[in-house]
Structure 1
């Protein structure tokens, strides 16, 4: 009877009635199945035992605290809210994160029930926020940073949850607040977005054949490939030119490329430049993803006053009140004897230091040289001591099995530590120091040490640190150095020190700079980011619904 009445209505009335019914249907909780606050409270209580976890992971108790702070009111009652979350998650691609690792349960699905879906969606959202803020990976398991004192991330975690509460109705805004607010990170994110778009539609970058070094003014068939490669990545505009001639416009493009890839800007296209040119777009994307993750780590370690050693860039900077105060070049460890990543604090200086040969250098460098020629000890001004510091006669030792000896070089012009060593607690026996081999600072690739960091114009850094503490007496400092005797000078207040590794940064004008991956870490980190987080498990509620 009712169906007959509907079919007898004019068609325009049927359409109006259908529209009204559809609006009523969408306004009811039938699709989203509104979850009562009491059910959420019952699901999350009592509080569960806290399990050890990385600081970038969301715990069950984090979920309980989040909902308790909003009186257990459900968050995802409308389909539009979930669509907004999915869209915000998709935008994490620009951050080098995989949105597929944060799968949002379908709020309209029957499987699981509305209660479980509500809490599962919140868990996904908060986990993505934590990964964007702290990094998706636990760096201690892949690129460990030794810390003199363990960093307490609890306050940052609490602040992040408070921020999520304040932006619970706007997931995109929450992600914007969690994202690293540093110029370098923004430049990396923009470059990753652009390169990913090119990767999806553009042909691979042309390869430049290896061969003799190409120099400005030369003629070589390989110049054609060089032009094609630089044009493909925007360094060289299309123009009328002689294809095989290395002209002025090409030289400008080459030096620009060299600068942006931290190479010697000499315009000479040798093995290092060709190697950088022939890195594929896919591998550059991996490098950018790896460094986006590193800068998420770094951002949580920075202090307003801090000395920062950029290992891959072989540079050092001193910041006061968050502003760059001083910078210089460094010489860092080779791939075989890497400079360690660490966070410590500079405590004192040793002026006119003696040099006690570290065990690794003793074993691998000094002993073979001494066995070859005992006069090496005199040539290098090395004394042989026992473990108590008492002199030993080199002629009386069996240098094939010398036992637990110490080699020490007295202060002087040839001492490898120069006039000063900057000390800080660490288990690696490394420090910052002067060097008599100052010519090495002129090289574009400066990985030549055995792990310690040699600092260009190191006395300027020492004076800046002492002046910051109000302790610098220039005349007294000069007298100590000129006196030639070993002296220790302590800082009243230790200055934070960070030594870490990243292969992408920006210059003073916020232009992106890429580096060689001396320690071969980018690929491992990028591959780890491609894997789903093994620690992230969906929340399981014991209450049905």
Structure 2
């Protein structure tokens, strides 16, 4: 049977007499003019429609109540979401949006489907209090449910809060990026204050929850691929994962050839792991054998694994390989979830013509009209010179560039060389300038007592264009506050697995090919031959691009290639670790929040009376 707080129907005289007696005999009223007795008796009055005036009363109380902070599990976004909650109900005239007096509305059913499957998006289902929602739904709208307007409004408000939380998690992430990384990384603001409310209100009114959630998700191909990867690794975890390797037992393992590894006790374990990861191809219903023979098939499987984990592709079982093999399926699943979270920190669109620089995976890719047209290996900053993560627009190319040595490098690296003396600076085509009261003048480095110099602020060091220039023959400029750019390099270490070797800028293996592509719209003036000639001319010149390319410098330790293979990279800057620690702590706090949340709902009727 359904019930309503107040009714306009006729009742039998006996029942009406009881109600009138209680109304006129009570003198204790709440600030809305209702007595406690009125409220208690009112729940017995049958009705199938919601009284809009009373719904407004309860909605305003529930939204403004102090305990409304318990609607939102994340303290970092709580104030923002509380504001959105109020704006949502203000837009909806403080009426229930998800439930009628008798049913769960269609948008609500759609929303619950997403909340219950939040894990498929790399999120924590526990953050959305589904058990509490189900419990109250059943008490109100189940077979034996009893209508209770305050409780219904509280359920509606709580459902809205969970919808806002899920949308915020899906679009902007569970944590803010500046909680994880260094201060040089620059991130976009994901929501304007009104956007979230407008989108959700429209979705509920027009029953298009699917559309708003799809729109809230990162609009990148990689995100969709990682959703498939998460499904695969969840299945592996559910099936028990793969065999474990105890690194403590094999710390001193040093094997230089595959021949030496033959008949090793670890061979069956490695075969088991690679069969689970898909690197060892098995026929249908074939089971990985337990022999200790390191055969060609296993050797190729190891190479496949090495390729997917940013390792030297030599088929040799090294300590670095064992570390990656010892990483459990659960840890890989977490790594995928962390990278899905980082995708939410990027801008809503990568652009039409863009370049992605993936720092830990050491590659740069150019996309033209959404299609990948160029890729090259890169070197990035060492851990203490971390390449910053940000987005900016490439504007021009510099051919035969000079290198203006940054002050920090001049002080920490060049000054010790100057103190040692020798011909380093002349051999490497450096010019040194001194600032004086009369202006700036070039000096002979041997004319200065560098041991007496403590600060390089009055000196500038410039490496002229040429074969020894640290920037090589070309650089690509996308002006930014970090003074980071992409450039050529005389270094030849691109075959190394670990290429975190620079001072923070991005070194390219094939910069000439990138220049040829970027300047193809100027090919009547800048042919490949002319570009090459200018690169080696020694005369510095800038070429501004007709089309501006958006450059995204990202930190993806997990990505999926065109063949659907999941790749993993080392956490070279420790962002995975820091992010995981924050989320682990957040999940622990979530459990405490859930206890408060459940207790608050259990005490709902008592609190309702106190509020009045």
Q: TM-score, normalised by structure 2?
A: 0.73
Equivalent in the alignment of 2:267: 223
What secondary structure does 2:451 align onto?
Answer: coil
The match for 1:127 among 141, 161, 165 is: 165
- Cα 1:309–1:37 change in 2 (3 A) is farther
Deviation at 1:352, TM superposition (A): 0.9
What secondary structure does 2:373 align onto?
Answer: strand
Equivalent in the alignment of 1:19: none
Alignment of 1:284-433 (within 5 A): 284-298=332-346, 300-387=348-435, 389-402=440-453, 403=455, 404=457, 405-433=459-487
Distance in 1, matches of 2:351 and 2:55, equals: 40
Cα RMSD (Å) of the superposition? Answer: 3.9
Distance in 2, matches of 1:511 and 1:417, equals: 34
What secondary structure does 1:297 align onto?
Answer: coil
The match for 2:240 among 202, 211, 215 is: 202
Mark the runs of 5 or more structure 1 residues left unpaired by the alignment. Answer: 1-27
Instruction: Indicate conservation of the 8 Å contact 1:217/1:247, yes or no.
Output: no
Equivalent in the alignment of 2:568: 514
- Higher RCO by CA contacts (8 Å cutoff, separation 6 or greater): 1
Structure 2 residue 528 is the aligned partner of structure 1 residue 462: no
Equivalent in the alignment of 1:93: 119
Structure 2 residue 85 is the aligned partner of structure 1 residue 63: yes
Q: Deviations over 1:122-166 (max 9, x none)?
A: 021122112112222221332368688x85645797378436633
The match for 2:313 among 237, 249, 265 is: 265
CA radius of gyration, larger in: 2
Distance in 2, matches of 1:345 and 1:55, equals: 30
Distance in 2, matches of 1:157 and 1:436, equals: 51
How many positions carry a matched residue from both structures? 510
Deviation at 1:181, TM superposition (A): 4.5
Deviation at 1:85, TM superposition (A): 4.2
Distance in 2, matches of 1:452 and 1:311, equals: 11
Instruction: Indicate conservation of the 8 Å contact 2:242/2:273, yes or no.
Output: no
Deviation at 1:451, TM superposition (A): 0.5
Equivalent in the alignment of 2:202: 165
Structure 2 residue 559 is the aligned partner of structure 1 residue 505: yes
Give the structure with the larger helix fraction. 2
Distance in 1, matches of 2:165 and 2:44, equals: 27
The match for 2:325 among 277, 288, 305 is: 277
Distance in 2, matches of 1:348 and 1:368, equals: 34
What secondary structure does 2:543 align onto?
Answer: strand
Instruction: Indicate conservation of the 8 Å contact 1:58/1:126, yes or no.
Output: no
Distance in 2, matches of 1:281 and 1:342, equals: 31
Mark the runs of 5 or more structure 2 residues left unpaired by the alignment. Answer: 1-42, 65-74, 141-147, 598-606
Equivalent in the alignment of 2:10: none
Q: TM-score, normalised by structure 1?
A: 0.81
Alignment of 1:122-161 (within 5 A): 122-143=160-181, 151=188, 153-154=190-191, 158=195, 161=198
Instruction: Indicate conservation of the 8 Å contact 1:56/1:135, yes or no.
Output: no
- Cα 1:111–1:420 change in 2 (3 A) is same
Instruction: Indicate conservation of the 8 Å contact 2:241/2:329, yes or no.
Output: no
